Structure 1
Amino acid sequence: MATQVAARVPADLLLRGRVLRPVDAEHIYSNPRAEFARLERAGALHRLAPGLFAAVPDDHVGRKWRPPLEAVALGTAGTGGHTTSSALMGISAARVHGALPRALNVAVVAVERHRNTLQLTDRKAAVLFVRRAVARLDVQRHQTELGQGWVTTVEQTLLDLIARPELGDVPDAAREAVASLIPRADMALLRDLATQQRRRRALDDALDAHEAA
C-alpha cells in the first residue's frame, strides 16, 4: 500500500490537467525531470512523447494503461492552461460522436495558436493541431479519461469534414463520417452555421450527393 501511495501524482499538480510536462511541476519539485522519471517507473505517469506524460488513474497505477488518442489530443492541446481555447474537431470529433467506430492513427484538434504536429511515441499516431478561432465554433463539453474539454457539435463537425475531408490524410474515413452524421444533424442549425461560416454551397452539394447515393 505504501508503494502505491508514493506513486501517486500530487493532487496540486493534477489541477493543471492530466497531461503534464516537467515544467508544470517546477513549483512542486526541485528536480521535476527526475521526479517524473520516478513516477513513470512506478507506473503513475505514462509517457506519451518526449517531455509529455499522462497521469495514470489511481486504479491503474502500476498496471498496463494507455489513454485513447482523442483524449490525448485534447489533453495535450490543454497544456499550459489552454483548455478553453482548444476543441476536438474533424475526424476526431466524428469519433467522439460515434460516427466512426474504428480507431485511427491521427487526431485533429483546433487551437488558437500555431503548434507543430505531435508525433506520439507510445503508439504509431500523431496529433494534428489546426489553428482556428475556437470561440467561433459550435462546440459542446466532452469528458475524457484525461479530463474535460470541448468537442465540435455534430453540425460543426459535419461542416468541417465537408470543407476539408483531406485533413488528417484519412479522406475515406471523413466521407464515411459525413454519411453517418448527416441523418443525425439538426438541419436548421446546420444550414444556419453553414451560412454564417460561408460554407452553404459546399453543404448543399454534400446533401445533394448524400440524397443521390
Structure 2
Amino acid sequence: MGADVDIARSIAASPLRTVRLKDLPPLVRNTWRTVERLTDRGALVRLSHGVYTAPPDGEDGRSWRPSLESTALAIAVARVGGRSAALMGTSAARYWGVLPRAIGVATVAVDRGKHSALELDHGGTVLFVPRRFDLLDLVLERTSLGRGLVTTPAQTLFDLLSRRPADGLEKEIDGAVDNLIARVEVPDYADVLARSARPGIAARAALERLREKYE
C-alpha cells in the first residue's frame, strides 16, 4: 500500500501531473502492475500508451477526464519538458475561447525532436509541430492539469492565418480569426509579424485589419 501512495504522489508531483511509465523511479519491483492497479481504482488515468496522469483535487479517474488540450500539452511536456512544449494553432484558439467547437485534434508546438501523431485512449489525436521557441510569443497559463505554455492571442492569430485549415474547419477558423482580431492589440501582433521571415498575405493583411479598429 505504501508503494501505491509513493507512485501516485510521484506522478502528481510531475509537471502537469503526468509522466511516462518508463520515466517513473523504480519504487516497486513491478511498476506497471502497480500503475494499472491505481488506474483501476481511479487514482490515475491512462492518457495514451505508457502515459499516465494523476487527477487533481481528489477527482476519481474512473469518471474524470482532462480536456483534449490539457491532455495534449501534458503528454508533450512529459516527452520534451515544460519549457519545450506549448499549445498552438487551433488548440490555443480553443484555450482562448475563440474556437467554440471541439475538433478532436490537438496541436502542440515542440522545440526539439520529431514526434509522430498520437492517438489518445479516450478519443482524439495529438499533433506535434516542430517550432523555434525563440520566435514564438508564449505565455504561461493554467490548465486543468497545471500551468503550461500557450501561444498568446497575437501569436495564435498569426498561426491560424499562416496554416491551411483542416478540411471542414474553414468557417470555424474564420470565426476564430474574427474573434482574435477583436481582442489582439496592434503592437502585440506587429511584434509577432516582425519575427516571421516570410509572413503570408493573410497574416500581413491582418495587421491592417487590426489598425482599422482604431481609425
2:18 equivalent in structure 1: 19
Q: Describe how 1:1-213 pairs up with structure 2 within 5 A.
A: 9-17=7-15, 18-61=17-60, 63-80=62-79, 82-112=81-111, 113-123=113-123, 125-166=124-165, 170-198=169-197, 199=199, 201-206=201-206
Gaps of 5+ in 1: none
Residues 58, 39 of structure 1: CA spacing in aligned structure 2 closer, same or farther, 3 A cutoff?
A: farther
Distance 2:79 2:26 in 1: 14
The 8 Å contact of residues 42 and 60 in structure 2, kept in 1 or not, is answered as yes
**SS at 1:20's partner residue?**
strand
TM-score, normalization by structure 1: 0.86
Q: Which shifted more, 169-178 or 99-108?
A: 169-178
After TM superposition, the score normalised by the length of structure 2 is: 0.85
Deviation of 1:137 (Å): 0.5
Report the CA distance shift for 1:169/1:110 in structure 2 as closer, same or farther (over 3 A): farther
Post-superposition CA distance 1:166-212 (Å, at most 9, x none): 2697333222211110111111221232122132643233466897x
CA displacement at 1:51 relative to structure 2: 1.5
Change (3 A) 1:193 1:81: closer
For residue 62 of structure 1, report the CA deviation from its aligned partner. Answer: 5.8
Cα distance change, pair 197–62 in 1 and its aligned pair in 2 (3 A)? closer
Q: 1:143 to 1:153 in 2, by over 3 A?
A: same
Amino acid at match of 1:20: V
CA displacement at 1:77 relative to structure 2: 0.5
* In structure 2, distance between residues paired with 1:149 and 1:119: 21
Report how far residue 104 of structure 1 moved: 1.9
SS at match of 2:58: helix
User: How high is the sequence identity, in percent, across the aligned residues?
Assistant: 37
